[in-house]
Structure 1
Amino acid sequence: MINNANKPLSRYVKLAIVGIKLHIDEHPLQYRTTEELLDHLKTPNRCTIEKAFKDYYGYGIKEYQVRQRLEASKKFLEQGMTKKLVALKCFYKGQDSYCRAFKQAFKLTPTEWQNRYA
């Protein structure tokens, strides 16, 4: 938890962002758009929730969701799955886009990560 917010969050906003984070943490491979994640909230201002999430956790909702999906992909790599299969399981269009996202997030390619940690 980073909480870079300049002002304290309202109880409603804090509950909303914690709920969104919890959903992403529990379902990292369940793709949801930000709108879908916010859909159940009765808020007139989606921007308030998105800004609060980023200020509080240090990542935007979409960015956090992608990061958690990439974290989950490490388990597949540990199991020896091919990068092509991991990319499909993690909803990437192909192995190349998965490998680029992985390297951008972790500063290692999936193969380098497997060689070091799996």
Structure 2
Amino acid sequence: MTNEKKFRKHVIKAAGTYKTLLDDHCALGDKVAELSSLLGISRNVLQQAFKKQYGKGVRDYKLMTRMERGRQLLQEGKDVKAIALALNYSKPRAFTTAFKKYFAITPTDFVKQLRILKKT
């Protein structure tokens, strides 16, 4: 007997809507509470449905999308200050710390490696 929680259609649809928002606007602040309130469901239920549907919690998914977007912007030649601003980090240092924790390399070293790879 499984103890798996079933979610109503509107909850699953809300989780999909939130994922689309994060995919399109990864720099959003914590909008899960606002969205759940608009849809008449609790924040926790929306977060649980999101995790069940996508295999990651909202916080982890949001971090992943921000870091992937940051890496993409570095590959496009953007500087760290501009990226931090675009991704809604309070300071460039906060972005650098998050990037290093996520990818185990600083944004500056990542860019240096890109340059080396382009030369070869």
The reply to whether TM is greater than 0.5 is yes
Higher relative contact order (CA closer than 8 Å, sequence separation 6+): 1
1:108 aligned to which of 87, 105, 112: 105
Q: Is 1:46 matched with 2:43?
A: yes
Q: Is 1:74 matched with 2:71?
A: yes
The structure 1 segments of at least 4 consecutive aligned residues displaced by more than 4 Å after TM superposition are: none
Q: Equivalent residues in 2 for 1:10-21 (5 A)? A: 10-21=8-19
Matched residue SS, 2:88: coil
Deviations, residues 79-114 of structure 1 (Å, cap 9, x unaligned): 222212211221111122101111222222212332
Number of corresponding residues: 113
The answer as to whether partners of 1:29 and 1:69 remain within 8 angstroms in 2 is: yes
Matched residue SS, 2:68: helix
Greater helix share, structure number: 2
**Partners in 1 of 2:35 and 2:110 — Cα distance?**
31
Quote the RMSD (CA, aligned, Å): 2.3
**Partners in 2 of 1:57 and 1:73 — Cα distance?**
21
The answer as to whether partners of 2:15 and 2:49 remain within 8 angstroms in 1 is: yes
State TM-score, norm by structure 2.
0.75
State TM-score, norm by structure 1.
0.76
Q: Aligned in 2, Cα 1:115/1:9: closer, same or farther, shift over 3 Å?
A: farther
The answer as to whether partners of 1:33 and 1:62 remain within 8 angstroms in 2 is: no
Matched residue SS, 1:39: helix
Select the structure of larger CA radius of gyration. Answer: 2
- Tell me by how many angstroms 1:64 deviates: 1.7
Structure 2: tracts of 5 or more residues without a match: 116-120
